[in-house]
Amino acid sequence: MGLLYVVYGLIIGSFLNVVIYRIPAGISIAYPPSTCGSCGKRIRAYHLVPVFSYLLLKGRCGYCREKISARYPLIEGLNGFLYLMLYQKIGFGIESVLLCLFSSVLIVVGMIDYDTMDVYLSTLVPGAILVVFILLERTYRGISILPFILAGLIAMILIFLVIQITKGGMGIGDIWILGLIGIVLGPVLTLVSFFLTSVIGGGVASFLLASKKKNGKEGIPFGPLLIIGFFMALLFGQELLDFYFSLFSF
Rounded-to-integer distance, Cα 139 and Cα 18, Å: 34
pLDDT reading at 239 higher than 90: yes
CA angle 137, 232, 144 (to 5 degrees): 25
Dump pLDDT digits (tens) for 41-88: 787 777 778 888 888 887 887 778 888 889 999 999 999 999 999 999
Tell me the pLDDT tens digit for each residue of 148-182. 999 999 999 988 888 888 776 677 888 999 999 99
Measured in whole angstroms, the distance separating CA 197 from the mean position of its chain's CA atoms is: 13
| Structure confidence at residue 164 (pLDDT) | 83
Question: Can you tell me the distance from the alpha carbon of 229 to that of 31, in angstroms, rounded to the nearest whole number?
Answer: 34
pLDDT at residue 130 in the model: 97
Residue 47 makes CB contacts below 8 A (sequence gap 6+) with 53, 57, 62
Q: What pLDDT is attached to residue 61?
A: 76
Do 121 and 113 contact (CB within 8 A), yes or no?
no
**Percentage of the chain lying above the pLDDT 70 cut:** 94
pLDDT band at 225 (very low <50, low <70, confident <90, very high): very high
In this structure, what is the dihedral angle of CA atoms 138, 144, 149, 152, given to the nearest 10 degrees?
-80
Q: Which phi and psi (to 5°) does residue 24 adopt?
A: -65, -30
Q: Which of 36-45, 59-68, 201-210, 234-243 reaches the highest mean pLDDT?
A: 234-243
Average per-residue pLDDT for the chain: 88
Indicate the SS3 state at residue 8.
helix
Please give the Cα distance from 60 to 54 (Å, whole number): 7
**Per-residue pLDDT at 29 exceeds 60:** yes
Looking at residue 62, its pLDDT comes to 75
Q: Which amino acid is at 8?
A: Y
The pLDDT of residue 191: 94
